[in-house]
Structure 1
Amino acid sequence: MREWLIELRKEKAYTQQKVAECANIDRAYYAQIENGTRNPSVTVAKKIAGFLKVNPSTFFVEGLSDPFELALTNSPILITHCDLHLRITWLFNPHPDFDVSTIIGKRIDEVITGEGAEKAIEVKRQVIQEACPIRKEIQYSLSEGLLTYDMFAQPIRNDHGEVVGVATVSVRMA
């Protein structure tokens, strides 16, 4: 089951039929994509992702098995992408307190409260406004206590060079 996809569709108050129409696919095919019995082609993933405003690679992250995933899984490194509204469109290797399926489509301050979330939002806004990278240490209050992350944030640009979001790499400090 692609719970993140179902939740995102419901949050946006779309029916399966509406998403399928916007992606130019059959509703039954879309239902199979949602329940995980079929994987979309790259073209279909791009259409669905464009309509729902998420990164198309989100459909394929579950099946990654390359050296980068092996090296980063369970490491102190978190990677995210977010759109211009600061909603997370892609996430890799979240802290154990969080489940990817409940974070996609949300802003960090909708998932966690506190000064750390506020600072992360501030950094991402600044990256979008100034269209340049920023590096900052941010502390979050999580189940393990107060954790410090070294966050590097940079603009995501489209083919025309326009800023369309923010990519971050955050490393948990020892």
Structure 2
Amino acid sequence: MRDWLIQLRKERKLTQQQIAEGAHIDRAYYAQIESGTRNPSMAVASQIASFLNINTFLFFPEHLSEPFTTALRNSPIIVAHCDLELRYTWMFNPHPDFNTDVIIGKRDDELDHNEGTIGLMKIKRKVIETKKPIRQYVSFPLSDGLITYDVFAQPIYNDGNQLIGVATVSTELLT
């Protein structure tokens, strides 16, 4: 079951039919993709992702390279992408306070409102405005205390060299 996909559809007040039409696929096929009984091809996943403005690889988390996932899973590193509206389109290895199924399609200030989320959003906006990478420390009040991350943010471009969002790599600092 792709709960994250169902939740994203419902939050955007879309029907399965609307997404299927937007992705140029059959509604029944989309329903099977959403329920997890069928996996989309890369082309179909790309069409759905394009319509929903999310990262295609959300459909294929198992296709991240084994060394990458082994090295980063449970590490103090979070990798994420967001669109130009600062809504998450992909995330890997979030802090335990956050669930990837809930994060996709949301901005930081919709997940929590504090100085850390405001600071992270400012970094992302500046990357979009300047089209240049930024590295800065940001502190977040989380369930296990105030945690400071070394955040590196850089612009993401599509194949047509158009800015489509921001990629971030956040490393938890030892205090």
TM over 0.5: yes
The whole-number CA distance in structure 1 between the counterparts of 2:65 and 2:153 is: 25
Match of 2:168 in 1: 168
Residue 63 of structure 2 is aligned to residue 60 of structure 1: no
User: Gapped runs of 5+ residues in structure 2?
Assistant: none
User: Gapped runs of 5+ residues in structure 1?
Assistant: none
How much does 1:65 deviate?
Answer: 5.6
Range 72-81 or range 160-169, more displaced: 160-169
How much does 1:159 deviate?
Answer: 2.1
Q: Normalization by structure 2: what TM-score?
A: 0.96
Q: Normalization by structure 1: what TM-score?
A: 0.97
Q: Residues 99 and 62 (structure 1 numbering): CA distance in 2 closer, same or farther, change over 3 Å?
A: farther
How much does 1:160 deviate?
Answer: 2.8
Match of 2:88 in 1: 88
User: How well do the aligned residues superpose, as a CA RMSD in angstroms?
Assistant: 1.1
Q: Residues 2 and 62 (structure 1 numbering): CA distance in 2 closer, same or farther, change over 3 Å?
A: farther
Match of 1:18 in 2: 18
Q: Residues 58 and 31 (structure 1 numbering): CA distance in 2 closer, same or farther, change over 3 Å?
A: same
Residue 40 of structure 2 is aligned to residue 40 of structure 1: yes
Q: Which amino acid aligns with 1:19?
A: I
Q: Residues 55 and 153 (structure 1 numbering): CA distance in 2 closer, same or farther, change over 3 Å?
A: same
SS at match of 1:38: coil
Please list the CA deviations of residues 94-149 of structure 1 after superposition, one character each: whole Å capped at 9, or x if unmatched: 00111100000000111122000000000000000000000000000000010000
Q: Which amino acid aligns with 2:82?
A: C
Runs of 4 or more, structure 1, over 6 Å off, are none
The whole-number CA distance in structure 1 between the counterparts of 2:135 and 2:155 is: 12
